[in-house]
Amino acid sequence: MKKLLSIGVVATLLLFTGCSQTEPSVDATNDSKKFDNIDTTVDVNDPSETNGLNNGGVDQSGTADGNELSLSGLEAQLRSITFAFDKFSIDGTNENKLLTNAALVNAKAAAYNVKLEGNCDEWGSDEYNYALGLKRAKAAKDAMVSEGVDATRITMVSFGESNPTCTEQTQACWAENRRVDFKLLP
């Protein structure tokens, strides 16, 4: 009987700890084509190629090539939207902010992807707040897509209550933490 029990335990362990037969793969079909037409050569002796530029290719005014705003300059124009307690619907005031953000993302930041960061106040369990933060980010994503932003350019993340902008124990502070932040990704 002991032998049968030990064989059963070993068989069960082998069943649950077996190795995968397939190796993970990475789809790199688009990555190699993405950078084929970029000229990466710069003649440092030619002042026309380096005039006014720092190491990042951005001149001192904060614009790339003098015409379009840099990533940080564009991101500074994006406004966070806030939510009511325990809600993930977008009200009228925040709808205007979201429309402005969508127009900016479509026009000036078309070369960048957008990351929506859902946040909550400290009330509720960690699990509940992570879920609520994701619902808030999803509501913002749906509104951005309805305004013409390509859904494949948008990613979402929830920080729950772990990323507060205000730490005071006041209603105004908690309201400030119930938000979705908009970030640009290269």
Give me the residue spans of the domains in the chain: 71-185
Residues 165 and 159: their CA atoms lie apart, in Å, by 12
Which numeric CATH code is attached to 71-185? 3.30.1330.60
As a whole number of angstroms, the distance between CA 50 and CA 37 comes to 21
The Cα 40–Cα 49 span in angstroms is 12
DSSP E strand boundaries for the chain: 63-64, 68-69, 81-82, 113-119, 154-160, 179-185
- pTM score, whole prediction: 0.62
The whole-number pLDDT of residue 5 equals 67
Identify the pLDDT of residue 6. Answer: 72
Q: Which residues are bridge partners to 184 per DSSP?
A: 114
Would you give per-residue pLDDT tens digits along the chain (186 residues)? Answer: 677 667 777 666 555 555 444 444 444 444 434 334 434 343 434 443 333 333 333 333 344 443 356 888 888 999 999 999 999 999 988 999 999 999 999 999 889 999 999 999 999 999 999 999 999 999 999 999 999 999 999 999 999 999 999 999 999 999 999 999 999 998
**What does the pLDDT read at residue 131?**
96
Which amino acid appears at position 68 of this protein?
E
Q: For the chain, how far is it from start to end, CA to CA, in angstroms?
A: 64
Q: CA 28, CA 64: separation in Å to the nearest integer?
A: 28
pLDDT value, residue 7: 78
